[in-house]
Structure 1
Amino acid sequence: MADQEALLRELLETFRLEAQDHLDSVSTLLISLEREPEKPEQKRLVESLFRRMHTLKGAAHAVNLGEVALICQDLESLLSEVKRGELPLEVTIYDRLHREVDLLAARIFQHPGSPGPASFSAPGAAPTTTPEPLGVPSHPVFRGGPEPSRPEQAVTLPPSPVEAPRAQDRRDPSGTETVRVPTRLLESLLLQAEELVSTKLAAAMLQEELSLTARLLTERTATRSRAQELAGYALRSQGPAPASQRLAGLIQEFCDSERECEVRLRGLERLAERNQHNLAALIDPLLAEMKQLQLLPFATLSDPFQKLVRDLGRELGKEAELSCRGAEIEVDRRILAELKEPLLHLVRNVMDHGIEAPLRREEAGKPRRGSVEIELRLLDANHARLTVRDDGRGIDASHVKATALRLELISPEPAEQLSDHEALQLVFESGFSTSPLITSLSGRGVGLAIVRESLERLGGHVTVSARPGLGCEFAMTLPLSFALIRALLVSVGKRSALIPAGNVELTSRLPREEVRQVENRDTVLLGGEVCSLVSLAAVLELGEKTGAQEEPYQQVVLVKAAERRIAFAVDQVLGVQEVLVKPLGGQLSRVRNVSGATVLGDGRVVPILNVNDLVRSALLVAGSAARPSTAQAKGRRLSVMVAEDSITSRTLLKNILEAAGYQVATAYDGADALTQLKAGSFDLVVSDVEMPRLDGFQLTAALRSEPRFAELPVILVTGLESRSDRERGIEVGANAYVVKSSFDQSSLIEVIERLT
């Protein structure tokens, strides 16, 4: 009896694997049939569907799944009527076929003894905490969204077939033998293979240390030879005392021993190098082949979205067609599993918010049927870009700003300075929604926030661009590998950290004099662009004084994340390494600014920084300086020259500075200011830019041309806020650049205090 039950369980597992393949094909065939206009091709597709149902019915009878067999029989009968021409292929027939296939999938994978189907909750629901494994080669079947009377119904997937604990051999049509194995076994083997990387790195570190030690001994060859020569001379002569002769003998013995150590070390170095080479020759191919076992075509994830788009269109009264490019690109199944939820949220948002109703599209001069495109494109060997675009109504940046202000996600002053592209990125903020209604599909303001969080968890980022009335495009940049990455090793004080190399644009060593202030922030000019400079120690809240602050040069790492560039000041740049990423564990599932850790070849545990978090944290460290400020003069009032052609602005600046305790002299243009500066003694200059005779740029350049004023701090306060104007201010030698549109009395005083 027990043997029969065990046999039945094995047969059920085998049946589910077979059923999954059939259901994948049926869903794809139904979508193709609905799009096919030619009668002969329609007949061929209907015949293929009929054969699939017939095969699945027979398999269900074999494992005593009578209810499943009945559903297959109903579908057979329906398809037979279509084949005979008794039922025309209309929308109602397609709807009925899709509903029956969904019901069939639910019955198969909810049968007793089978794990319940995994589900994607509606965007408003809390995200699932246990991610569903992505099977090999699983094509999940989506349910078509909620019925009108059941608005909270979930979009469901059958469980992955590879979760079956028994392996099953089969042959594909090409004759290549394949085997199904549990994914947990693959993951275990891959983790063990990845652990070998640490051994390889340790061996490389040992070989490097041996080489360094042997090189140090080799560099002492000349000194050793000279010492032996003198010792030999002392031993041959009869003059020195016996004690001196004993010392000379000891020196000669020491030199002989050191030479022998050098020979032995050279031998160990060659052995370590050979062993390290052999170890790499074993580990690298093993790891590469283990990774191949984890690869699945992107179609595994993208194909089911054809049906999802179709079902959502029916539910929302819209027409849309999904196309996919790059479906043949193979991606780590773990990456695909993480992409499933964000891609679902994006497609649902596109269908609900982007694609218009058919009549509205015709009025706008568009085709009745909307277009949704998913494209995967390789950027390099380690990164890819996943794009979701549509030809719908797009997103209005002004509407986004207004909504963000209403929800108090941003204050009015920064909102005015945001470009349209920057404003659009606010849609990823938690709680943001432009929809006035909350439905089962959208309106809760969490869907796109989940998209961003999921991408950042992968070490990637997402951006959106749009044109009102023409559609929008979501671009997601993501890594292709979870475990091994190339990272830049830097030191901050006594600590080390790793920054993913894919986010590093450049490293540089700059004279500290090139660090300027713009709008109360330290900045540097890198690659012709002004970039904010923030101390990495300040962002990580290390609170350590570093000796590098006293050096004449500053080490800088320019980092890019989600189209934002920020330069980080570090003490040392130690080079790029290939490292094995280790998760922080359940106790530290989310640590700000840190995405994981690794063990270096010398045994040190070093954190791997989360670049997206770093950029956000850097924006909070307002005006953090990478260089020490000059000590403020004590015992006297500082003297400030204000150059401003507007009497109103001149009076305002004078009153502000005098109220702060400064001694103020005023000039009505740059030429007047230059004359007074040459005649008197001043500690700082505050100047407008647009002035007659001599403007602020020319005044600053004139001051920098004279040695007496080379170190005199100059602050430009102006209404010119373009990037070119700011860069010109830095080029002529201004220490700070304050825009009048964002002028704040306290910020001006703070800039002056830091410069004096």
Structure 2
Amino acid sequence: MLDSEALLKELLATFEMEAREHLGELASLLLALERDPELTERRRLLESVFRRVHTLKGAAHAVNLPDVALACQRLEDVLAGLKRGDLALGLAEFDALHASINDLEQRLSRGLSAAGAVPSPSPRPEPPRPAPVVPAAPREDGEVAAARPSRPSAVPVAAPPAAPPPQQVPEPKPAQQHHVAARPQGDETVRVSARLLEELLLQSEELVSAKQSASVLHEELAALTGELALRQGERARALERARRGMKGGAGGEGALAALLEQSCQAERHTEGRLRLLEKSADKHLRSLQGMIDPLLEEMKKLQLLPCATVCDPFAKLVRDLARELGKEAEFTYQGGELEIDRRILAELKEPLLHLVRNTVDHGIESPARREAAGKPARGAIRIDIRLQDANRAELVLEDDGGGIDVARVKEAALRLEVAPAELLERMADQEALQLIFESGLSTSRSVGNVSGRGIGLAIVRDSLERLGGHVAVASTPGGGTLFRLVFPLSFARIRGLLVQVRGRDCVIPANNVEVSSRVAVADVKRVENRDTVLVNGEVVALVSLARILELERSAAAQEQSLSFVLLHAGEKRIAFAVDQVLGVQEILVKPLGRQLSRVRNVSGGTVLGNSKVVPVLNVADLFRSALAVEAPALPSPSPAGRPRPVSVLVAEDSITSRTLLKNILEAAGYQVRTAVDGADALSQLRAEPCDVVISDIEMPRMDGFQLTAAIRADSRLAALPVVLVTGLESRSDRERGIDVGASAYLVKSSFDQGNLVEVIQKLS
């Protein structure tokens, strides 16, 4: 009895995999048939649908699921009529056929759950349920009819039960179905548990740590052997002196010389043994690399699945959802043959589902609106998947719908208090579009069953960041929207940049690193109350990584230069100051565990070859933290111990602004003098220098740029700090201010008296 139960469980598990494969393929075949191919192809597709339904019916009988078998029998009768040409194939008939497939999937889930041997798969979003249709009259010409919406249908659709379980998007087809064509003839395939494959891969990846430890051991042996080799000259000279002492010295000196010679001989023997050990370690390291690297590559291939396994179900989803919303849309994709780690694909399912549903609901217009705009009545949704580099892929989801209304995005952002009104007004359209990924932000005027709550796109961003990728959006009013998703091809093993911050090691994913370099502290400039550095001719914000990670400031003396790492996340670029860049190495990323499932700025951990555990930083979090707080890279010097108050010269042609700045600075304890323009300020400085100059840019006679250049050209004033406070906020103006030698650049639209005082304290 126990053997029979075990056999039934095994049969049910096999049947579930086979049935879901058939259901997924049936949906694809119906969609292909709906595109109205030519007669020969139409007959071939109908024959394929008929054969799959017949096979599914037989398999359902074999595992004692009569409800599924009965539904297959009814569908078989309808398909036989379609093959004979007795029934028409119109839009209503296709709706009913798709509904029958959905009903089959429901019956399958209920049957497997009732059997109690196979757990029900996790629920997925329910595709829309088309309205039932009425029977149709047979054709007279004996051929399969073309699509004719006016003809009723004879396709039976089972009435749903009182409390049906959620419908499910068809599971991706097993990998071997997509690999069969690419395999050489004679290769056999087997079904293996995905859980077993994943465990084997994880165990294989653990060997990376063993390889790194062997590499560290080899490096230490090589270093020790090198040190002994460097002492070879010293040994030779010591032995020569010892031999001379043995010839002309007393008995005690001769004994000491003999002992020294024995010691040198023992050191040479040790050096010889170390060289042998080094060669042996090098040989074993190469052997280990030769075994581990191919093993890991082959194990990774076992986890690869074509992207088509994720994209295939969306064709039916788009078709059903568009019908529910009274729209017409067609889904296509390219790059489905690209193979990616199945764990990555599993993580991509949910964000892609949200994007596709949002595209159908918000992006694609109704047929009437599309025709009025000169577009085809049927909308187009397209996915293009391609490699970006050796370990990253790019997925572009594009539609030809109405695009995103940037004004409505800004209104929703203001309502949600995502950003201040002044910032939203000045924000460029492309930057404002990225706000749609904020949680709770939606441009929909109502909440429906499909979308409108503003959660889906936030899930998309979070999912991509969790994978170590990013998402961006671009849109053209009336021309459609484009989502670009960038993500890695595989998990776990990555190349990381090892850096040191406040004496602690951290790893930054190398894919996000653009460049690492050093810069003189004197070359760090203040722009809009942020430290900046010039990298390849572009001004980039500089933020202390220690400040972001909330590490204590070290008591070491300040150096004349600092190291930084320029990172990029999507279109954003920020330089992070670090103590030291230690190099690039391959690492195995470990999750933090359930106790620390989410730690800000940290995505995981890794064990280095020296057995040291270090955190792997989350670049997306670092950017959010850097943009959320003022994070100066350099420590502010203490003004304590000054013999006199700091003197400030304010050059401003507007009497109102001049008086305001004077009052602010005097209230902060500074000695303030004023000048009506740049020429007046330069004259006063030559007569009586000060500690800091605060200057407007647009002034008569001599503007702020000319004043700054004149100060830098004067040998007595060249080191004088100059702060430009102006309404000019374009990038070119900021770069010009830095070029002429301004120490800091503050924009009046975001002016804050605390920022001004902080800048003066830093510069003085």
TM-score (norm 1): 0.92
Paired residue secondary structure (1:393): coil
- Counterpart of 2:287 in structure 1: which amino acid? N
Matched with 1:400 is: 409
Q: What is the aligned counterpart of 1:725 among 733, 752, 763?
A: 733
CA contact (8 A) 1:116 1:159 kept: no
* Identical counterparts, % of pairs: 59
Matched with 2:168 is: 156
CA contact (8 A) 2:647 2:692 kept: yes
CA contact (8 A) 1:516 1:736 kept: yes
Paired residue secondary structure (1:283): helix
Deviations 1:252-303 (A, max 9, x none): 2222222221111111111100100000000000000000000000001101
Shift of 1:747: 1.7
Matched with 1:340 is: 349
Give every structure 1 segment of 4 or more consecutive aligned residues whose post-TM-superposition deviation is greater than 4 Å: 147-155, 158-163, 169-174
Question: For residues 366-381 of structure 1, what are the structure 2 equivalents within 5 Å?
Answer: 366-381=375-390
The whole-number CA distance in structure 2 between the counterparts of 1:362 and 1:170 is 42
The whole-number CA distance in structure 1 between the counterparts of 2:161 and 2:747 is 56
Question: For residues 58-69 of structure 1, what are the structure 2 equivalents within 5 Å?
Answer: 58-69=58-69
1:596 and 2:607 are equivalent in the alignment: no
Shift of 1:567: 0.6
CA contact (8 A) 1:117 1:157 kept: no
The whole-number CA distance in structure 2 between the counterparts of 1:653 and 1:149 is 75
Q: What is the aligned counterpart of 1:324 among 329, 333, 336?
A: 333
- Counterpart of 2:13 in structure 1: which amino acid? E
Deviations 1:126-165 (A, max 9, x none): xxxxxxxxxxxxxxxxxxxxx99999985514567879xx
Deviations 1:712-754 (A, max 9, x none): 1110011111111111111221111001121222221221122
Deviations 1:97-143 (A, max 9, x none): 111111112222332233223223589xxxxxxxxxxxxxxxxxxxx
Matched with 2:48 is: 48
Pick which of 382-391 and 635-644 moved more. 635-644
Paired residue secondary structure (2:31): helix
- Counterpart of 2:354 in structure 1: which amino acid? H
Q: What is the aligned counterpart of 1:176 among 183, 187, 193?
A: 187
Pair 1:155–1:58, CA change in 2 (3 A): closer
Deviations 1:560-611 (A, max 9, x none): 1132111111010000000011111111111111111111011100110000
Matched with 1:127 is: none
Paired residue secondary structure (2:365): coil
The whole-number CA distance in structure 2 between the counterparts of 1:401 and 1:152 is 41
1:457 and 2:451 are equivalent in the alignment: no
- Counterpart of 2:80 in structure 1: which amino acid? S
Paired residue secondary structure (2:598): coil
1:552 and 2:560 are equivalent in the alignment: yes
Matched with 2:756 is: 748
Pair 1:395–1:590, CA change in 2 (3 A): same
Paired residue secondary structure (2:343): helix
Shift of 1:372: 0.7
Matched with 2:22 is: 22
Paired residue secondary structure (1:550): coil
The whole-number CA distance in structure 1 between the counterparts of 2:602 and 2:53 is 51
Q: What is the aligned counterpart of 2:493 among 484, 487, 500?
A: 484
Shift of 1:314: 0.7
CA contact (8 A) 1:162 1:183 kept: no
CA contact (8 A) 1:505 1:558 kept: yes
The whole-number CA distance in structure 2 between the counterparts of 1:122 and 1:658 is 67
Matched with 1:643 is: 651
Matched with 1:234 is: 245
- Point out where structure 2 has 5 or more consecutive residues left out of the alignment: 128-158
The whole-number CA distance in structure 2 between the counterparts of 1:500 and 1:560 is 11
CA contact (8 A) 2:330 2:381 kept: yes
1:421 and 2:426 are equivalent in the alignment: no
Shift of 1:79: 1.4
The whole-number CA distance in structure 2 between the counterparts of 1:376 and 1:159 is 20
CA contact (8 A) 1:557 1:569 kept: yes
The whole-number CA distance in structure 1 between the counterparts of 2:449 and 2:493 is 39
Matched with 2:232 is: 221
Shift of 1:75: 1.0
Shift of 1:385: 1.1
Deviations 1:693-726 (A, max 9, x none): 3221121122122332222111001111111111
The whole-number CA distance in structure 2 between the counterparts of 1:151 and 1:469 is 42
- Counterpart of 1:604 in structure 2: which amino acid? K
Pair 1:569–1:107, CA change in 2 (3 A): same
Pair 1:484–1:188, CA change in 2 (3 A): same
Deviations 1:634-668 (A, max 9, x none): 24222111112223322222222223222222222
Matched with 1:700 is: 708
Deviations 1:608-628 (A, max 9, x none): 000000111112330423344
Deviations 1:304-328 (A, max 9, x none): 1000000101111111111111100
Question: For residues 251-262 of structure 1, what are the structure 2 equivalents within 5 Å?
Answer: 251-262=260-271
Matched with 2:393 is: 384
- Counterpart of 1:343 in structure 2: which amino acid? L
Deviations 1:170-212 (A, max 9, x none): 9999542000011111111111110111000100110011111
Pair 1:189–1:606, CA change in 2 (3 A): same
Shift of 1:524: 0.7
Count of aligned positions = 725
The whole-number CA distance in structure 2 between the counterparts of 1:424 and 1:471 is 13
The whole-number CA distance in structure 1 between the counterparts of 2:411 and 2:630 is 26
Shift of 1:17: 2.8
Pick which of 289-298 and 639-648 moved more. 639-648
The whole-number CA distance in structure 2 between the counterparts of 1:655 and 1:149 is 77
Matched with 1:500 is: 509
Question: For residues 585-624 of structure 1, what are the structure 2 equivalents within 5 Å?
Answer: 585-624=593-632
The whole-number CA distance in structure 2 between the counterparts of 1:432 and 1:179 is 47
Paired residue secondary structure (1:110): helix
Paired residue secondary structure (2:206): helix
Matched with 2:150 is: none
Matched with 2:455 is: 446
The whole-number CA distance in structure 2 between the counterparts of 1:155 and 1:335 is 24
Shift of 1:31: 0.6
- Counterpart of 1:233 in structure 2: which amino acid? R
Matched with 2:685 is: 677
Matched with 2:197 is: 186
Matched with 1:688 is: 696
Pair 1:603–1:224, CA change in 2 (3 A): same
Q: What is the aligned counterpart of 1:711 among 709, 712, 719?
A: 719
CA contact (8 A) 1:520 1:623 kept: no
The whole-number CA distance in structure 2 between the counterparts of 1:108 and 1:696 is 77
Paired residue secondary structure (2:190): strand
The whole-number CA distance in structure 1 between the counterparts of 2:124 and 2:164 is 11
- Point out where structure 1 has 5 or more consecutive residues left out of the alignment: 124-146, 164-168
Paired residue secondary structure (1:207): helix
CA contact (8 A) 2:125 2:169 kept: no
Paired residue secondary structure (1:438): coil
CA contact (8 A) 1:106 1:117 kept: no
CA contact (8 A) 2:172 2:310 kept: no
CA contact (8 A) 2:639 2:761 kept: no
CA contact (8 A) 1:534 1:621 kept: no
The whole-number CA distance in structure 2 between the counterparts of 1:699 and 1:390 is 53
- Counterpart of 1:685 in structure 2: which amino acid? V
Shift of 1:83: 2.0
Paired residue secondary structure (2:505): strand
The whole-number CA distance in structure 2 between the counterparts of 1:345 and 1:434 is 15
The whole-number CA distance in structure 1 between the counterparts of 2:696 and 2:163 is 61
CA contact (8 A) 1:109 1:158 kept: no
Question: For residues 519-538 of structure 1, what are the structure 2 equivalents within 5 Å?
Answer: 519-538=528-547
Matched with 1:139 is: none
